[in-house]
Amino acid sequence: MGPDTHRLALAEPTVGKVLASPRRRPPRHRPGEEFLAGPVPLAWLRVAARLPGRALAVGIALWFKAGVSKRAKVKLTSRVREKVGLSRHSTHRGLAALEQAGLVDVDRQVGRSPVVTIRGRGRDEP
């Protein structure tokens, strides 16, 4: 290479990244690793995403638990909310927002984890 052309050469780590073919599929979970099962209706997520605070994160925790149990009615335990990084108080507020939006029905009992039934699209969606 001439004196000016060596400036145009790519560094070795960059060459591998440029030449690597793009993934054709989205990344998958590793064997034994937890994952969010679907399908999760986009309309449901759209309504939850518009809600204040951690409502969407609470919704994701609910859909995770529903995917594991294969049921729409799930118990929102401290173990489930901790997997998503939610505090007890933010979970309570998020659950109330989801309930008010019509995305879930909640059965609360003093001293127990709430039992939540995931509903359809909510009140704001057609």
> Residue 85 to residues 16, 57, 78, 81, 88: CA-CA distances in angstroms?
36, 9, 10, 6, 10
pLDDT reported for residue 92: 94
Q: What is the CATH number of the domain that holds 71?
A: 1.10.10
| 59-96 residue pLDDT tens | 999 999 999 999 999 999 999 988 889 999 999 999 99
Range of the domain at 61: 42-118
Whether 59 contacts 44, CB under 8 Å: yes
pLDDT reported for residue 71: 92
Q: Is residue 26 part of a domain?
A: no
Which amino acid, residue 73?
K
Of 102, 72, 74, 78, the closest CA to residue 92 belongs to 78
pLDDT reported for residue 104: 97
Render 28-59 in DSSP notation, one character per residue: -PPTT-----S---HHHHHHHHHSSTTHHHHH
User: What is the number of structural domains in the chain?
Assistant: 1
Question: Average pLDDT of the chain?
Answer: 84
Which pTM value belongs to this model? 0.74
Q: Is residue 126 part of a domain?
A: no
Q: Is residue 83 part of a domain?
A: yes
Please tell me the distance from the alpha carbon of residue 107 to that of residue 113, in angstroms, as a whole number: 9
Q: Is residue 93 part of a domain?
A: yes
Q: Is residue 97 part of a domain?
A: yes
